Amino acid sequence: TGKCYHTFRGHSAEIVCLSFNPQSTLLATGSMDTTAKLWDLEKGEEVATLNGHSAEIIALSFNTTGDRIITGSFDHTVAVWDVGTGREQNLLIKMPTNNNAKGKYYLCPCLCVQLWDAVTGTHIATLAGHSKEVLDVCFDYAGQRIATASADGSARVYNAGTKQCIAKLEGHEDEISKVS
């Protein structure tokens, strides 16, 4: 119908990323104001504000069960949060580059993608193959595939289990900035 059900207001700067939980009951927003917010989609109300980053939040994602959310910030950290309490968990990982949080793992884009275990902080794999910067990454809903989008005009799909590239998607004449 095109009807707007709710307008969410509360960030003091622009929203740069968002994600729905798997149950489609919550919306998470990440902002240039260094916070993430959780919103109840039915009531249209703010549920929690996630404070802890010292720079803008550039990526966030719920895990597959929706009880945790991972945020990545320009402060070079990745934080794991409890959705029920809105509190940061004990894991706050300092990384040398910008971070992009996705699912159970978190991803760090550059010319390649660094895959890390969000629970243990262990480096798992490097996904290489692009000739220019990787601009976006995402997991599929089952957590079995990872897609990358690059400034080189290609997208790639990797098997999350084997970490092997299973598809090279080429044909764009310019950069691909988002993938889903």
Would you say residue 104 lies in a domain? no
Quick one: which of 101, 176, 111, 92 has its CA closest to 146?
101
Out of 78-82, 112-116, 150-154, least confident range? 112-116
Out of 119-128, 150-159, 168-177, least confident range? 119-128
Looking at 49, 68, 98, which one is the last position of a domain? Answer: 98
Would you say residue 103 lies in a domain? no
Distance (Å, whole) CA 157 – CA 149: 9
Average pLDDT, rounded, for the chain: 85
User: Which residue bears the tokens 């489609």?
Assistant: 24
Out of 34-43, 92-101, 139-148, least confident range? 92-101
Q: Are residues 53 and 92 in the same domain?
A: yes
> Which pLDDT does position 122 carry in this prediction?
77
Q: Average pLDDT for residues 111-124, to the nearest whole number?
A: 77
Q: Are residues 94 and 116 in the same domain?
A: no
The domain of 116 spans 109-179
Quick one: which of 80, 105, 78, 81 has its CA closest to 94?
78
Which has more pLDDT, 133 or 168?
A: 168
Beta pairing class for 26-31 and 15-20 = antiparallel
> Which pLDDT does position 109 carry in this prediction?
46
Element (H, E) at 78: strand 77-82
Q: Are residues 37 and 122 in the same domain?
A: no
Would you say residue 12 lies in a domain? yes
Report yes or no: 134 and 155 within 8 Å, Cβ to Cβ.
no
Buried residues in 40-67 as b, exposed as e (16+ CB within 10 A): ebeeeeebbebebbeebbbbbbbbeebe
Which has more pLDDT, 91 or 17?
A: 17
Which has more pLDDT, 56 or 77?
A: 56
Would you say residue 9 lies in a domain? yes
Q: Are residues 37 and 117 in the same domain?
A: no
Q: Are residues 7 and 73 in the same domain?
A: yes
* Structural domain count of the chain: 2
User: Which residue bears the tokens 């220019």?
Assistant: 132
Q: Average pLDDT for residues 71-77, to the nearest whole number?
A: 83
Q: Are residues 21 and 56 in the same domain?
A: yes
> Which pLDDT does position 93 carry in this prediction?
56
Partnered with residue 146 across adjacent β-strands are 139, 158
Would you say residue 128 lies in a domain? yes
CATH code where residue 18 lies: 2.120.10.30
> What are the DSSP calls for 84-138, one per residue?
TT--EEEEEEE-SS--EEETTEEEEESSSEEEEETTT--EEEEE---SS-EEEEE
Q: Average pLDDT for residues 126-137, to the nearest whole number?
A: 88
> Which pLDDT does position 38 carry in this prediction?
97
> Which pLDDT does position 98 carry in this prediction?
38
